[in-house]
């Protein structure tokens, strides 16, 4: 018995030391925390319950039978964030570079299975050199087991990936199938193949940072949803982020008490939209002025900035926000914005999060680069996502709602539950100038006539009244009233039940 207790202590000590002091120091020197230090920050104090600390790999080749570290490079278990259950795995770069062995994969799969069965979010802290090279195909099999579970968990429990070190090869595909990816600036990378392989195959010379650093993935590729300055900030913000999410797809997010009055009137909103329709304004200012306590948790702030997405709360309830941004590309919808919006809407719909849409959109972006890039297919994603969503949908048209983009942005016709407009709304097939140039083409060149026609068109169509006379808009009101109108609408929709026809799954244009 005593022997066993001694052995237990010895193994636990070895597990906690991971790859040893020298490697821990190396990790710290890079500005990175260890796998366990990260969990200490992520989880509520003393809430972590560890499993599989004594798991070891089973490889024998390349002297691996001599190198066994209890835990095998990943710390797994469950704990609490803001008092709520979460499952976690945290890869330990000090043990074989956090690489994934068969046993390491089995540990991750165990917590994933529990997360799905018990209905709680899964958070993965990734810091891994990919498949454990010494194990060969066995480690590839391990990855595939994780991938399969990512897919089965998708839309069942929220899955969040923090990328906190180099993630190469298989290490990027599991995060890619989760709901959100957060990266740490300057110390994390994601690529399918690293700079050396790129050089051999394509003769391109590129640094790891350029190829797959946090900046690249948050600005260019759109792979990362958020980036943070360091490990601590990433972990603390993940805690805040979790407060907006429900535990699983069967329940709603918890409400958070607020002292912000439902009927709070924000008079500055009345002058926020410029008189001149060609002048921009910041849609985030509108969101902040209406949200509970001005709080808005934006996702992908540096990618496809012509659409803004994120979470906020109205009268304490989590709301997903999708908004055209007039400050960037005049708020036009392009390929990247459509994909960004569509994926977010599908997350909200899967997890019972109501959607508030703010519309100020001149249309889809014209041009060969968009058409050749497939704006038809990608724009359809946004339309598809809105049309299939059955969560409460409240739409506010602040200014332009032109053409197909009017239809797409959660219009009444695709089951918008409540559709509002400010008096500044312009709801029409297209803007006055474009319209006049088409229907009065013969008058082009006659400035006076064109001006008269444009004025005529503007008076007739550039307003919310025709749409409201048809019931496509439920109410028009002065902007300062907006918070109350939205809070009442979402409260009214709280028990909304709507089902789509039975099918195996839909076929969104991928």
Known catalytic residues are 169-170, 404-405
Distances (CA, A) of 436 to 297, 380, 388, 390, 430: 41, 28, 35, 38, 10
Site size toward ligand HXC, by CB under 6 A: 18
168 is a contact residue toward ligand HXC (CB under 6 A): yes
From 51, 173, 297, 440, residue interacting with ligand HXC (rule: CB under 6 A):
173
Q: How far is the CB of 476 from ligand HXC (least distance, A)?
A: 53
From 70, 142, 169, 431, residue interacting with ligand HXC (rule: CB under 6 A):
169
Long-range CB contact pairs, 470-476, < 8 A, 24+: 471/412, 472/411, 472/412, 472/413, 472/419, 472/427, 473/397, 473/412, 473/419, 473/420, 473/421, 473/425, 473/427, 474/412, 474/418, 474/419, 474/420, 475/420, 475/421, 476/420, 476/421, 476/422, 476/423, 476/425
CA geometry: angle at 221 spanning 363 and 278, to 5°?
A: 25
Q: How far is the CB of 126 from ligand HXC (least distance, A)?
A: 11
Q: How far apart are CA 471 and CA 412, in angstroms?
A: 9
Contacting ligand HXC within 182-221 (CB under 6 A): 194
Q: How far is the CB of 107 from ligand HXC (least distance, A)?
A: 16
133 is a contact residue toward ligand HXC (CB under 6 A): yes
Q: How far apart are CA 212 and CA 214, in angstroms?
A: 7
Percentages (nearest 5) of helix, strand, coil residues in the chain: 45, 20, 35
**Applying CB under 6 A, which part among 77-85, 124-132, 198-206, 289-297 lies near ligand HXC?**
124-132
Q: How far apart are CA 74 and CA 68, in angstroms?
A: 13
**Taking the C-alpha atoms of 165, 168, 171 and 172 in order, what is their torsion angle to the nearest 10 degrees?**
90
**Applying CB under 6 A, which part among 162-170, 304-312, 417-425, 461-469 lies near ligand HXC?**
162-170
175 is a contact residue toward ligand HXC (CB under 6 A): no
Instruction: Read off the tokens for 367.
Output: 């041009």
Is the separation of the CB atoms in 435 and 457 below 8 Å?
yes
| Cβ distance to ligand HXC smaller for residue 168 or 359 | 168
Give the DSSP H/E element, type plus range, for residue 360.
strand 355-361
Q: How far is the CB of 195 from ligand HXC (least distance, A)?
A: 9
| Cβ distance to ligand HXC smaller for residue 35 or 418 | 35
Instruction: Read off the tokens for 141.
Output: 């099999």
97 is a contact residue toward ligand HXC (CB under 6 A): yes
Taking residues 17 to 46 in sequence order and writing x for each that binds ligand HXC by CB under 6 A, - otherwise, the string is ------x-----------------------
149 is a contact residue toward ligand HXC (CB under 6 A): no
Q: How far is the CB of 23 from ligand HXC (least distance, A)?
A: 6
From 55, 115, 131, 487, residue interacting with ligand HXC (rule: CB under 6 A):
131
60 is a contact residue toward ligand HXC (CB under 6 A): no
**Applying CB under 6 A, which part among 6-14, 37-45, 161-169, 424-432 lies near ligand HXC?**
161-169
From 166, 212, 416, 479, residue interacting with ligand HXC (rule: CB under 6 A):
166
Q: How far is the CB of 98 from ligand HXC (least distance, A)?
A: 7
**Applying CB under 6 A, which part among 129-137, 238-246, 316-324, 403-411 lies near ligand HXC?**
129-137
| Cβ distance to ligand HXC smaller for residue 27 or 324 | 27
User: Token match 């890619």: residue?
Assistant: 176
| Cβ distance to ligand HXC smaller for residue 168 or 408 | 168
Name the E strands within 180-289.
180-184, 189-191, 226-228
From 73, 130, 158, 431, residue interacting with ligand HXC (rule: CB under 6 A):
130
Contacts of 399 by beta carbon, 8 Å cutoff, 6+ apart:
273, 277, 326, 359, 360, 422, 424, 425, 426
Taking residues 77 to 96 in sequence order and writing x for each that binds ligand HXC by CB under 6 A, - otherwise, the string is -------------------x
From 107, 114, 132, 483, residue interacting with ligand HXC (rule: CB under 6 A):
132
* Residue 115: closest CA among 142, 144, 85, 143: 85
From 43, 122, 140, 322, residue interacting with ligand HXC (rule: CB under 6 A):
140
**Applying CB under 6 A, which part among 169-177, 325-333, 438-446, 459-467 lies near ligand HXC?**
169-177
Is the separation of the CB atoms in 193 and 158 below 8 Å?
no
**Applying CB under 6 A, which part among 123-131, 155-163, 319-327, 378-386 lies near ligand HXC?**
123-131
**Applying CB under 6 A, which part among 47-55, 127-135, 298-306, 478-486 lies near ligand HXC?**
127-135
Is the separation of the CB atoms in 359 and 404 below 8 Å?
no
* Burial bucket for residue 255 (CB in 10 Å: 0-12, 13-18, 19+): exposed
- Count the alpha carbons within 13 Å of 378 in the hemisphere toward its beta carbon: 18
Contacting ligand HXC within 425-464 (CB under 6 A): none
DSSP structure class, residue 365: P
Alpha-carbon Rg for the chain in angstroms: 26
Binding site for ligand HXC (CB under 6 A): 23, 96-97, 99, 129-134, 140, 143, 166, 168-170, 173, 194
């Amino acid at each position: 018995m005593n022997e066993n207790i001694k052995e237990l202590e010895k193994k636990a000590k070895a597990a906690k030391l991971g790859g040893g002091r020298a490697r821990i120091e190396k990790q710290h020197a890079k500005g990175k925390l260890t796998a366990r230090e990260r969990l200490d920050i992520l989880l509520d104090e003393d809430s972590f319950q560890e499993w599989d600390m004594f798991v070891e790999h089973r490889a024998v080749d390349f002297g691996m039978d001599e190198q066994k570290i209890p835990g095998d490079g990943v710390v797994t278990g469950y704990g609490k964030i803001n008092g709520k259950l979460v499952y976690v795995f945290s890869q330990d770069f000090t043990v074989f570079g956090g690489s994934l062995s068969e046993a390491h994969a089995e540990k991750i799969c165990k917590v994933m299975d529990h997360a799905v069965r018990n209905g709680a979010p899964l958070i993965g802290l990734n810091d891994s050199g990919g498949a454990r090279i010494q194990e060969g195909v066995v480690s590839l099999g391990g990855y595939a087991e994780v991938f399969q579970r990512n897919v089965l968990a998708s839309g069942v429990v929220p899955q969040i990936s923090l990328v906190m070190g180099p993630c190469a090869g298989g290490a990027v595909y599991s995060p890619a199938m989760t709901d959100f990816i957060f990266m740490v600036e300057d110390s994390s990378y994601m690529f399918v193949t690293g700079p050396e392989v790129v050089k051999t195959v394509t003769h391109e010379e590129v640094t790891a940072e350029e190829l797959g650093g946090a900046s690249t993935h948050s600005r260019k590729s759109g792979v990362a949803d958020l980036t943070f300055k360091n490990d601590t900030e990433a972990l603390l913000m993940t805690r805040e982020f979790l407060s907006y999410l429900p535990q699983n797809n069967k329940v709603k997010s918890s409400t958070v008490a607020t002292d912000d009055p439902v009927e709070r009137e924000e008079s500055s909103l009345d002058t926020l939209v410029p008189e001149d329709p060609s002048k921009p304004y910041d849609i985030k200012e509108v969101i902040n002025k209406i949200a509970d306590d001005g709080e808005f948790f934006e996702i992908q702030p540096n990618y496809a900035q012509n659409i803004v997405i994120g979470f906020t709360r109205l009268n304490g309830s989590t709301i997903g926000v999708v908004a055209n941004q007039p400050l960037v590309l005049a708020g036009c919808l392009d390929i990247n914005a459509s994909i960004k919006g569509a994926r977010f809407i599908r997350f909200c719909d899967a997890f019972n999060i109501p959607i508030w849409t703010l519309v100020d959109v001149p249309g889809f972006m014209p041009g060969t680069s968009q058409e050749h890039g497939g704006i038809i297919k990608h724009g359809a994603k946004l339309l598809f996502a809105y049309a299939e969503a059955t969560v409460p949908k409240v739409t506010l048209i602040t200014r332009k709602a032109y053409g197909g983009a009017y239809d797409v942005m959660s219009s009444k016709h695709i089951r918008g539950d409540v559709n509002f407009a400010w008096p500044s709304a312009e709801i029409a097939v297209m803007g006055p100038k474009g319209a006049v140039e088409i229907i009065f083409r013969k008058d082009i060149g006659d400035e006076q006539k064109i001006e008269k026609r444009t004025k005529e068109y503007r008076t007739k169509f550039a307003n919310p009244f025709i749409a409201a006379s048809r019931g496509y808009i439920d109410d028009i009101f002065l902007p300062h009233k907006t918070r109350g109108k939205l809070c009442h609408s979402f409260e009214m929709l709280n028990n909304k039940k709507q089902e789509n026809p039975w099918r195996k799954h839909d076929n969104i244009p991928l």
